[in-house]
Amino acid sequence: MSSQYPTVTCFCPLYKGGQFIEGYMEDMVRQTIFPEVNFFILDCASPDNEIEVINDYAKHNNIAYLRLDKDPGLYAAWNVCINSTQGDFLTNWNVDDRKTPWSLETMRDCLVLNEDIDLVYGNTIVSEKANEDQLFNAWRNIEEGIHFSPRYGELFMKLDESLGHAMREDARRIEDEAPAWTPPRHNG
């Protein structure tokens, strides 16, 4: 791992992701900075037996896997992931999201080169078919001029700055007491 860059951790709480897991794992190992990223897959008692596919990638020492006996729900799963990992930068990557090979590198470099930025998200193509390969080279031509909805983007956080007081305090508590990440509240 290159010491000139901050450490990156990518987590994925998964449940019923069997139809997507192969494409997810392929995109993971195709990342241009794959050897420099720690990946954490949290199996939330999924009935799909994704471990059969994940085991094919177990030779990589930067992929960690943990299976829970019971599905804790999305936000509690995020808390387990946050509390089970460490790194300077943290991102969530859902099992049904496809990514370009340079996705994690682009987001990491954006944060490294722009100290005033604490949060970035990347473009995501939404596909109707599981494990469909996208035309990633076409993305290079359109990435700079198009801004996709953050609803479909992945989050990439600078832990030491953007977790801030609320998330840092909540992360110290037990997952069931208070979430380390909570959904935004809409007033009105």
DSSP character string of 108-168: HHHHHH-TT--EE-------SSTTPPP-HHHHHHHTTT----GGGSPPEEEHHHHSHHHHH
Q: CATH 3.50.50.60: does it fit domain 8-171?
A: no
- In three-state secondary structure terms, 1 is coil
Given this model, what pLDDT does residue 154 score? 44
Given this model, what pLDDT does residue 122 score? 73
Q: What is the pLDDT along the chain (188 residues), one digit of tens a residue?
A: 445 889 999 999 999 999 999 999 999 999 999 999 999 999 999 999 999 999 999 899 999 999 999 999 999 999 999 999 999 999 999 998 888 888 899 889 988 988 888 888 776 655 566 766 654 445 544 444 433 333 334 445 544 444 443 343 444 443 444 444 444 455 55
Q: For 27, how many CA atoms within 13 A lie in the half-sphere containing its CB?
A: 26
Residues 57 and 85 sit within 8 Å (Cβ to Cβ): no
Q: How far is CA 105 from CA 29, 31, 122, 157, in A?
A: 13, 8, 11, 14
Given this model, what pLDDT does residue 114 score? 87
Residues whose CB falls within 8 Å of the CB of residue 15, separated by 6 or more in sequence, listed in order:
43, 44, 45, 46, 71, 77
* Residue where the block lists tokens 């990435």: 143
Strands 89-92, 156-158: parallel, antiparallel or unpaired by DSSP?
antiparallel
State the Cα–Cα distance between residues 41 and 44, nearest whole angstrom: 9
State the Cα–Cα distance between residues 11 and 84, nearest whole angstrom: 10
Given this model, what pLDDT does residue 153 score? 40
Given this model, what pLDDT does residue 133 score? 62
pTM score of the predicted model:
0.72
Strand order in the sheet with 63-67: 63-67, 37-43, 8-14, 89-92, 156-158, 119-120
Residue 104 gets which letter from DSSP? H
Given this model, what pLDDT does residue 4 score? 82
